């Protein structure tokens, strides 16, 4: 029997497993990735035989998804997967895949809430930029939550990832705008969203 994909388990949680693995050949071969998988997705497992008294057989208790990457980015990634059905790696690292997923979430909300009729492709192109709506303190919902996700992934503290545009999100917007040469009015509109997802 030959396995074309192998993963090393880093930690077992209630219903998921944190692992690192890669395809090892054939038509598809990729770099190692850290992933969170459902326990039901695991088809087989094996454990090496350790010598008596070998401390390497003891599991590391301090490994969590948050220990690899950023815990808040991890939360954003989990929401994108669970709410929108994406299958991005949950590794707490803000890369191109997470940015594209946030853009797709934004496009989905612009379509559903504002009738934008955008292609949900994860690309912040001219049509997407033109469809972006202003939101400010008091706004609520998943469009606001995508804004919070972008801010969190860019290192800004929104004081919660809850879809509520309160003072924490407003302060984060103002700080982001100041840091990126935008008008610092606390209103997230086309310029701010385009900067975040571009």
Residue boundaries of the structural domains of the chain: 5-56, 69-197
What percent of the chain is modeled with pLDDT above 90?
Answer: 62
If one compares 91 and 102, the residue with the highest pLDDT of the two is 102
Write down the CATH number for the domain with range 69-197.
1.10.101.10
Using one digit for the tens of pLDDT, what is the confidence trace for 133-181? 999 999 999 999 999 999 999 999 999 999 999 999 999 999 999 999 9
CA distances from 75 to 5, 51, 79, 187 (A): 27, 39, 6, 24
If one compares 96 and 7, the residue with the highest pLDDT of the two is 96
Q: Can you give the pLDDT at residue 40?
A: 65
Span 106-128, mean pLDDT?
A: 97
CA–CA gap between residue 17 and residue 38 (Å, rounded): 6
Q: Can you give the pLDDT at residue 4?
A: 57
Q: Can you give the pLDDT at residue 37?
A: 64
Instruction: State the Rg of the chain over Cα.
Output: 20
Q: Can you give the pLDDT at residue 131?
A: 98
Query: What average pLDDT does the chain have?
Result: 83
Task: Assess contact for 101 and 123: CB atoms under 8 A.
Answer: no
Using one digit for the tens of pLDDT, what is the confidence trace for 37-79? 666 666 666 666 555 555 454 444 454 444 456 889 999 999 9
Reported pTM: 0.69
If one compares 63 and 4, the residue with the highest pLDDT of the two is 4
If one compares 99 and 53, the residue with the highest pLDDT of the two is 99
Confidence tier at 198 by pLDDT (50, 70, 90):
confident
CA–CA gap between residue 42 and residue 19 (Å, rounded): 11
Q: Can you give the pLDDT at residue 66?
A: 43
* Maximum C-alpha span of the chain: 65
């Amino acid at each position: 029997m030959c396995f074309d994909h192998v993963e090393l388990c880093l930690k077992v949680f209630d219903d998921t497993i944190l692992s690192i693995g890669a395809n090892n050949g054939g038509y598809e071969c990729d770099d190692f990735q850290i992933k969170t998988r459902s326990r039901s997705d695991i088809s087989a497992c094996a454990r090496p035989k350790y010598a008596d008294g070998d401390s390497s057989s003891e599991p590391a208790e301090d490994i969590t998804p948050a220990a690899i990457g950023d815990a808040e980015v991890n939360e954003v990634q989990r929401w994108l997967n669970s709410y929108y059905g994406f299958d991005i790696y949950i590794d707490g690292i803000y890369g191109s895949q997470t940015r594209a997923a946030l853009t797709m979430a934004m496009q989905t909300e612009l379509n559903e809430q504002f009738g934008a009729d955008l292609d949900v492709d994860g690309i912040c192109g001219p049509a997407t930029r033109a469809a972006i709506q202003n939101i400010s303190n008091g706004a609520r919902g998943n469009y606001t939550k995508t804004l919070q996700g972008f801010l969190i992934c860019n290192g800004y503290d929104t004081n919660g990832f809850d879809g509520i545009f309160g003072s924490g999100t407003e302060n984060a917007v103002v700080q982001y705008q100041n840091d990126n040469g935008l008008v610092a009015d606390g209103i997230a509109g086309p310029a701010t969203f385009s900067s975040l997802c571009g």
